[in-house]
């Protein structure tokens, strides 16, 4: 039986307005995803290496549409230590992507794109595991990025989650005369042309 | 700037899960919610953070004798190639290429950065959160290290925090550094016995021009900042600055070749005279500007009054027309109602006479039996009319 750590660590994207770069974990070892699936660090390493070996630097699509978006993978690495300066999780596959098309960069800024996912082929091996599941979460959201309608701000939130990490109920406080609904733990829903990303850290240590 | 995070409380459970193996990734996707449910975490790429991480160039100040294109082409200022050149303001000793209007900046963040030793400076600051600026030039790490904040009162030592430099940089410090650089040149030039008069003159005047340009740029920037803050203290600040320069000049050691100036006192006097002249000119300019503004305001007020009167007249006319229209409409309505009433009366009269006729006929029939014909071929059946009294449905109207 495996022990899966379900402790939400910080996932980070380094963004430069001038260079249009985002950095993010494509996959983190021993973290259950939304399909209740996980991978070992070795498998992630293999996956990351094969992706580059095949010369797939242009294979970034939008919402799994399997069409090249014009974005390019400009960096790819496996996190080696426990204390990564950007808080990437050890063993995770991180890519840096150059978001070249204007509309996709706007999407990053407005919160339409908040993370990476991947599409491909794999074998799934069922097993039983002891998993840390999040029950409650509270704190402050990331600041908004798009200031077209409302100045930069953040909201305080409180969430109750089910065993699959889905939001059972959530409260987002009011700021600048508005609030947001929240259906997924990674970000609030968009309102007034912006949303807020939610970075979870495990208070249990 | 601390990261915003949300803390979670977890519990341990046993679950049926699947481990993925031999994964072949066809596409990495940009998605709204990542598969592992954690979002992008946004930080700045230069990792400086704080007040300095978004320093935007408000304007580039270049001495008159310098050519902007030549500077960009021949020095390490080639990153200024994208600078806007259309908004150029010409001053007596230097030119200013405005990149972003100063009103769009957080006034407390405004500062100056020396971009090049030839006397090229930039006014920089953070964009106020209520404004949006696109395609603005920003400062790199190297330039940020030389950033100094411009206080409203130049004599006050207001500190600019530079994260990776524990030493605060103040306007005074930079000012003094520039002044002492100038004095060093003066001392050095005067002490070179082999130098010709022409060489000394050129060296000292070159250094003096550079220092003068810096001082003027700094003073003008302070004045712009004060203008934006609606504070009219330029002349007081200038006085302070002149006193400060005079005080520092008093420390200049005497001696050396005095071909250019007889002694330090003369040199000090020359600088003071020059700056006093600048003060007078600045005041005259300010007065002229104030007069012009007052005249413009008077003109604008007069125009506004005329517009207001015209509008009032127009409103009154519109009101009158509306009243007239209402009256006409009311009259038309009454007229139409009269016509309708006449038509109705006529119709009523006709109906009344017909009803009367029918009533008379009905009365004549009285209690007579009548026969309803069968419609399906059945036997005809007599029906007795029980009530002999007829009631007209129009009785209410007729009465």
Q: Is B70 on the interface with A (CB under 8 A)?
A: no
Rounded to whole angstroms, the Cα distance separating B105 from B328 reads 59
pLDDT lower than 50: segments of chain A: 1-15, 204-205
Tell whether ipTM is more than 0.90.
Answer: no
Tokens matching residue B41: 């975490």
- Rg (C-alpha) for chain A, rounded Å, is 17
Interchain proximity A163–B12, CB inside 8 Å: no
A-contacting residues in B 126-155 (Cβ below 8 Å): 129-130, 132, 138
| CB-nearest partner of A139 from B7, B10, B19 | B7
> Which of B9, B36, B104, B137 has the most A C-beta neighbours within 10 Å, making it the best mutation to test the interface with A?
B36
Interchain proximity B27–A35, CB inside 8 Å: no
CA distance A65 to chain B (A): 8
A-chain residues within 8 Å CB-CB of B45?
A: 14-16, 19, 21
Q: Give residue B231's pLDDT.
A: 44
Interchain proximity B29–A27, CB inside 8 Å: no
Locate the DSSP E strands across chain B.
6-31, 42-44, 56-63, 88-90, 94-98, 111-116, 120-125, 148-149, 160-162, 165-169, 370-372, 381-383
Three-class DSSP category at A129: strand
CB atoms within 10 A of CB B18: 19
Interchain proximity B17–A201, CB inside 8 Å: no
Q: Give residue A55's pLDDT.
A: 92
Nearest CA in chain A to B6: A139
Q: Give residue A43's pLDDT.
A: 93
Interchain proximity A39–B18, CB inside 8 Å: no
> Which of B7, B24, B26, B41 has the most A C-beta neighbours within 10 Å, making it the best mutation to test the interface with A?
B41
Rounded to whole angstroms, the Cα distance separating B107 from B116 reads 24
Q: Is B379 on the interface with A (CB under 8 A)?
A: no
B-chain residues within 8 Å CB-CB of A11?
A: 34, 36, 38-41
pLDDT lower than 50: segments of chain B: 1-2, 42-53, 150-169, 230-232, 252-259, 369-399
* Sign of the Cα pseudo-torsion (B90, B96, B100, B102, in order): negative
Nearest CA in chain A to B137: A18
B-chain residues within 8 Å CB-CB of A16?
A: 44-46
> Which of B23, B45, B57 has the most A C-beta neighbours within 10 Å, making it the best mutation to test the interface with A?
B23
Tokens matching residue A67: 């069409």
Interchain proximity A99–B17, CB inside 8 Å: no
Interchain proximity B9–A163, CB inside 8 Å: no
Which residue from B117, B144, B175, B152 is spatially nearest to B54, judged by alpha carbons? B144
Q: Give residue A203's pLDDT.
A: 54
Nearest CA in chain B to A110: B32
> Which of A122, A150, A176 has the most B C-beta neighbours within 10 Å, making it the best mutation to test the interface with B?
A122
Rounded to whole angstroms, the Cα distance separating B60 from A29 reads 50
A-contacting residues in B 7-66 (Cβ below 8 Å): 7-46
∠ CA(B107), CA(B108), CA(B112), 5° rounding? 85
Interchain proximity A133–B27, CB inside 8 Å: no
Torsion, Cα A85 A89 A91 A97, to 10 degrees, reads -70
Interchain proximity B9–A151, CB inside 8 Å: no
DSSP tag of A175: B
B-chain residues within 8 Å CB-CB of A172?
A: none
Interchain proximity B16–A154, CB inside 8 Å: no
User: At B181, phi and psi to the nearest 5?
Assistant: -60, -45
């Amino acid at each position: 039986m495996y022990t899966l750590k379900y402790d939400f660590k910080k996932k980070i994207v380094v963004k430069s307005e001038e260079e249009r770069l985002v950095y993010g974990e494509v996959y983190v070892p021993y973290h259950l995803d939304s399909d209740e699936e996980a991978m070992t660090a070795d498998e992630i390493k293999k996956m990351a290496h094969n992706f580059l070996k095949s010369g797939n630097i242009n294979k970034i699509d939008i919402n799994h549409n399997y069409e090249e978006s014009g974005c390019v993978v400009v960096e790819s690495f496996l996190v080696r230590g426990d204390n990564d300066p950007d808080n990437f999780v050890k063993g995770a596959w991180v890519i840096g992507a150059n978001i070249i098309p204007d509309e996709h960069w706007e999407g990053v800024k407005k919160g339409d794109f908040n993370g990476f996912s991947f599409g491909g082929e794999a074998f799934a091996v069922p097993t039983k595991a002891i998993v840390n599941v999040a029950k409650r979460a509270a704190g402050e959201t990331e600041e908004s990025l798009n200031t077209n309608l409302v100045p930069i701000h953040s909201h305080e939130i409180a969430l109750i989650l089910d065993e699959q990490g889905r939001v059972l109920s959530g409260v987002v406080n009011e700021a600048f005369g508005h609030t947001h609904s929240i259906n997924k733990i990674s970000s609030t829903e968009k309102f007034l042309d912006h949303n807020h990303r939610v970075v979870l850290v495990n208070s249990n240590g | 700037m601390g990261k915003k995070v949300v803390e979670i409380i977890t519990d341990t459970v046993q679950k049926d899960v699947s481990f993925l193996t031999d994964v072949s990734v066809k596409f990495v996707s940009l998605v709204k919610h990542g598969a592992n449910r954690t979002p992008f975490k946004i930080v700045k790429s230069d990792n400086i953070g704080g007040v300095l991480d978004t320093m935007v160039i408000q304007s580039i100040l270049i001495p008159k004798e310098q050519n902007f294109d030549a500077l960009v082409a021949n020095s390490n200022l080639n990153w200024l190639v994208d600078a806007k050149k259309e908004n150029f303001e010409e001053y007596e000793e230097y030119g200013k290429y405005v990149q972003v209007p100063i009103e769009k900046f957080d006034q407390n963040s405004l500062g100056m950065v020396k971009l090049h030793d030839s006397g090229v400076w930039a006014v920089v600051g953070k964009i106020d959160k209520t404004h949006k600026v696109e395609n603005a030039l920003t400062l790199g790490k190297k330039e940020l290290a030389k950033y100094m904040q411009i206080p409203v009162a130049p004599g006050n030592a207001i500190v600019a925090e530079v994260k990776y430099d524990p030493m605060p940089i103040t306007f005074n410090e930079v000012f003094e550094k520039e002044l002492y650089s100038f004095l060093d040149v003066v001392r050095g030039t005067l002490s070179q016995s082999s130098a010709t008069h022409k060489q000394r003159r050129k060296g000292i005047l070159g250094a003096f021009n550079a220092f003068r340009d810096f001082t003027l740029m700094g003073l003008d920037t302070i004045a712009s900042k004060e203008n934006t803050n609606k504070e009219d203290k330029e002349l007081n600040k200038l006085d302070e600055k002149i006193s400060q320069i005079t005080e520092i000049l008093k420390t200049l050691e005497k001696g050396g070749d005095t071909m250019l100036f007889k002694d330090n006192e003369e040199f000090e006097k020359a600088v003071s005279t020059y700056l006093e002249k600048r003060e007078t000119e600045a005041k005259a300019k300010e007065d002229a500007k104030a007069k012009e503004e007052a005249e413009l305001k008077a003109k604008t007020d007069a125009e506004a009054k005329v517009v207001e009167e015209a509008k009032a007249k127009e409103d009154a006319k519109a009101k009158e027309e509306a009243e007239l229209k209402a009256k006409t409409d009311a009259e038309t309505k009454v007229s139409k109602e009269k016509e309708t009433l006449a038509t109705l009366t006529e119709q009523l009269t006709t109906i009344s006479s017909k009803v009367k006729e029918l009533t008379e006929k009905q009365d004549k029939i009285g209690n007579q039996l009548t026969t309803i014909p069968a419609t399906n071929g059945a036997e005809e059946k007599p029906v007795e009319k029980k009530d002999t009294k007829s009631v007209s449905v129009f009785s209410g109207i007729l009465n």
